[in-house]
Amino acid sequence: MALLHPRMRNKYAVFFVFIVALVIIEKENNIISRVSDKLTPKQNLQTPPQPNVSAMGLLKHNSSYASLSELEPTFVHLKRRLENYTKQVARHRDGRKHILLLATTRTGSSFVGEFFNQQDRNMFYLYEPLWHVERKLNLAAGGTNALAMARAYQDVLQQLFLCNFTLLESFIEPPPVAHVTAALFRRESSASLCTDHVCSPVVKDVFERYHCKERSCGPLNFTRASEFCLRKAHRAIKTVRVRQLESLRPLVEDPRLDVRFIQLVRDPRAVLASRMVAFSYKYTSWKQWEVTGEVPVDDDEVKRLKGNCDSIRLSAEVGLRRPAWLQRRYMLVRYEDIARYPMQKAAEMYRFSGIPFTPQVKEWIRKNTQASKEADGVYSTQKNSSKQVEKWRSSMPFNLARMVQKVCGPTMKLFGYRFVNDEDMLTNKSISLLEEKVFHFP
């Protein structure tokens, strides 16, 4: 080769590297094939889409070998394929799952989150850790834009799934002292954060004892929490703050994570009725319109409702399109279906997540979906679910329901919520407002 012209040497060198790359890919294919043969159908790795042309076909152009510039995109493609294979093998070897429950307020997300929180023996569950991120960024001078907020959410979630709490600590006020805090939002809603493994001894005049689900627990030690998190088989996070699924794409592409997204939705009319009770101080305009009967369509509150509905719909449309980057990692579930068939839907969510559905979780669901008397509090997770799902129809006047239908129509149609034509149809619970629809395809 030393006798060849330099340009010819470069061309043959590229050709040699290309052949080596093809051999590596073939070996990767064989590895994946051997691993896949040993897996059950549920565990089987997904095969990346094959290119439209053969590898050898890429080498030729008008019966001559391709130039360096023509081969460069091919090497980029090969590199990406190799990276995808490596990610899949690494994820299979680890076996750890990362579940992100996406919702908006008053959709039943606290209740559904308990499906994973109750699996505390092998699950590290976090309840609304992004509350701190939203609060601090909103309080920052001049506020923040949606893009910056989405990026912050993405970065914090990524670190939390890796059991690293350092970034979250930077958003907590007052700041943790030596990685210890008593100020974590709704800590008592995460079973993993209410154990002796993560509690620090009480320091007199610095921290008070923290009430954690009928037991006293010292302030949260993030260093211990990280160690405890790393020992768990799986991790789950519930949040009502992420607006767009697309913003979470880096989590899917991180080879250290095996993320599953579950988006929980609910009839927008029911959501509004629930928010008017839970956050009455924020919904004074709606309460006034409830009395007067007139709802101005151009009011900021109505526009905000429309914006929320559009955001939920756009995010769901991305997931339901099943783009290649999601790799079948998205599931949409309606709260109404969970309320009607809690055990069945919980089993589907666990099957989708790739995590065993344990007797402990089944027992909790049985006890907390057939309660003869519901627990007090707007955040209670103890409900008679079959009755709860229709409760809003008796409290919401038709004029408000009609306005929700007007501004949230496309969202309601996508999720299969039927419109009501008058007051009688709204209050007549023998008429179902729910279409039978299937959103998740295994």
Judge whether 73 lies within some domain. yes
% of the chain beyond a pLDDT of 70: 70
Judge whether 244 lies within some domain. no
What value does the mean pLDDT take over residues 26-30?
A: 48
Rounded to two decimals, the pTM is 0.77
Model pLDDT, residue 7:
53
Q: What residue type is 428 in one-letter code?
A: N
Is a pLDDT exceeding 90 seen at residue 370? no
The residue length of the chain stands at 442
Listed residues 78, 94, 110: the one ending a domain: 94
Residue 177 makes CB contacts below 8 A (sequence gap 6+) with: 206
Kindly report, residue by residue over 174-192, the tens digit of the pLDDT: 999 999 999 999 999 999 9
Listed residues 33, 60, 94: the one ending a domain: 94
Model pLDDT, residue 201:
67
Judge whether 226 lies within some domain. no
More confident residue, 106 or 73: 106
pLDDT confidence band for 388 (50 / 70 / 90) = confident
Listed residues 61, 94, 127: the one ending a domain: 94
pLDDT confidence band for 431 (50 / 70 / 90) = very high
Place of tokens 């569950």: 125
Place of tokens 């023996």: 121
Number of domains composing the chain: 2
Judge whether 57 lies within some domain. yes
More confident residue, 200 or 162: 162
What value does the mean pLDDT take over residues 385-392?
A: 80
**417-430 burial string, b = 16+ CB within 10 Å, else e?**
bebbeeeeebeeee
How does the average pLDDT of the chain come out, rounded? 81
The neighbouring-strand residues paired with 332 are 263
Judge whether 248 lies within some domain. no
Kindly report, residue by residue over 132-145, the tens digit of the pLDDT: 999 999 887 566 68
The dihedral over CA atoms of 406, 102, 187, 229, expressed in degrees to the nearest 10, equals 180
Q: Which helix (H) or strand (E) holds 124?
A: strand 123-127
Model pLDDT, residue 271:
97
Q: Which domain does 68 fall in, by range?
A: 6-41+51-94
Kindly report, residue by residue over 37-67, the tens digit of the pLDDT: 433 333 443 333 433 333 333 333 434 434 5
Model pLDDT, residue 259:
97
Please tell me the least confidently modeled range out of 68-72, 117-121, 269-273, 310-314: 68-72
Is a pLDDT exceeding 80 seen at residue 12? no
**For the residues of 306-370, what is the DSSP string, one character each?**
HHHHHHHHHHHHHHHH--GGGTT-EEEEEHHHHHHSHHHHHHHHHHHHT----HHHHHHHHHHSB
More confident residue, 393 or 31: 393
pLDDT confidence band for 218 (50 / 70 / 90) = confident
Judge whether 139 lies within some domain. no
Model pLDDT, residue 200:
77
Judge whether 180 lies within some domain. no
Model pLDDT, residue 382:
53
How far apart CA 302 and CA 307 sit, in angstroms, is 9
**For the residues of 185-243, what is the DSSP string, one character each?**
TTGGG-GGGSSTTTBPPPPTTT---EE-SSSEE--EEHHHHHHHHHHSSEEEEEES---
Q: Are 46 and 327 in contact (CB under 8 A)?
A: yes
pLDDT confidence band for 439 (50 / 70 / 90) = confident
Closest CA to 315 of 153, 205, 189, 167: 153
Q: Which two tokens stand for residue 131?
A: 């509350």
